[in-house]
Amino acid sequence: VLCDIKMNKMDGIEVLTEGLALKPDVPFIMISGHGTVETAVEASRKGAYDFISKPPDLNRLLITVRNALERGNLVTETKVLKRKVSKTREILGESVAIGKIKETIERVAPTEARVLITGANGSGKELVARWLHEKSGRANAPLIEVNCAAIPSELIESELFGHEKGSFTSAMKQRIGKFEQADKGTLFLDEIGDMSLSAQSKVLRALQENKITRVGGEREIEVDVRVIAATNKDLLKEIEAGTFRMDLYHRLSVILIHVPSLTERTDDIPIIAQSFCEEICNEYSMTVKKITVEAVAALRALPWTGNIRELRNMVERLIILSDKVITDNDVRIFANPSGPESVNHNVSAQPNYEQFANFQEYKDYAEKEYIKHKLEKNGWNVSKTADDIDIQRSHLYSKIEKYSLKRTEH
């Protein structure tokens, strides 16, 4: 919107204020023939994108309008992307246990109650925390996540509360901690059972007083943060062992949510596996593969010590290594990343599995061998091969280039 400052019926600043109240994402460019620094500052403070004096330079005006439109588009695109991301974060399953978790989230999320989420690794504790945030009144503020198990004990306090410059040897500049970053939002303390007792006492104080002090600092800083914590440990046993504070446990566990392991809710495996299949096939620009009833039964029979995380890896492996339909035989063959002792299923030779540092390396190897096998089978006809494995031809070309695949001369 191009808006003059001096107008008869309504002042331009009033138009700006009321316009942004109705359409906060619309950029306003203010124009005035009596422009002063004070007027420009007031317009900017009220939310104007820019301020231009009369008579406007045409080039500057065009550039400003173009930049304002681009900014508006970016704001819109960001909101759309955020909605898309939030839509993908679903708690999948129709079991009684998952139904109770969803009901609890609906009741608890709008409140300010602290929540302690328990469950095994890979069971979906982080997803529950995200839903608690997204359905709360803090959804438009940040959700800051901290994996307490991944941070060395000597650094956890600096990570949570920040530090002042020079507070320790490597503190070359001031650092804002996670509590301050999460102000007005939610702080998710994952694996809180691994937090040191020293850090626990400071977290307890922050929860009691809603204030923190940076490491090496003296000034108290007020914070407005909702804390959600998660752990794979039995904190009551940790309290008995003297490694976790009872008073902190009671502060955190106003609401307790236990996320069951996948083996406790095998009825949900068909829904979860199908959802992962659609998601992964879309990522790879492939036609969604069908999972047979027998394959689903085979999946349900597996132990799933890695829970949801392991199931997703398994489905991704099946999509890459199986044909158009995923069968129970595929599940038996590829149930283990290292496979059976003898495998001859779209892979040229049995690899030495010790050579792979992680599953990604194995996946790349398997994908390369699979594509190479299909290309050779189709006489290196790229169009036919792309159709055969249900991916776009351009996508296949990029894979050929990625893996440096070349036709073998006979």
pLDDT digits (tens, 9 = 90+) for 296-355: 999 999 989 889 989 999 999 999 888 889 999 899 888 765 544 333 333 334 455 666
Among candidate residues 110, 101, 103, the one with its CA nearest the CA of residue 134: 110
Pairing mode of beta strands 50-53, 29-32:
parallel
Please write the tens of the pLDDT for every residue from 371-401.
888 888 888 888 888 888 888 888 888 888 8
**Between vectors from CA 103 to CA 254 and to CA 230, what angle results, nearest 5°?**
45
Using CA atoms, how far apart are residues 45 and 36, in angstroms rounded to an integer? 14
Which strand (E) or helix (H) includes residue 258? strand 255-258
218 near 201, Cβ under 8 Å?
no
Listed in sequence order, the residues at least 6 apart from 170 whose beta carbon sits closer than 8 Å to its beta carbon are: none
Query: What's the CATH fold of domain 264-402?
Result: Helicase, Ruva Protein; domain 3 (1.10.8)
pTM of the model: 0.63
Strand pairing partners for 286? 391
**Between vectors from CA 163 to CA 158 and to CA 167, what angle results, nearest 5°?**
110
CATH assignment of 2-87, among 1.10.3430.10, 3.40.50.2300, 3.40.50.720, 3.40.30.10: 3.40.50.2300
Average pLDDT rounded to a whole number, residues 154-176: 82
Break the chain into its structural domains and give their ranges. 2-87, 96-260, 264-402
Architecture of the domain defined by 96-260:
3-Layer(aba) Sandwich (3.40)
Q: What integer best gives the mean pLDDT of the chain? A: 86
Average pLDDT rounded to a whole number, residues 109-128: 95
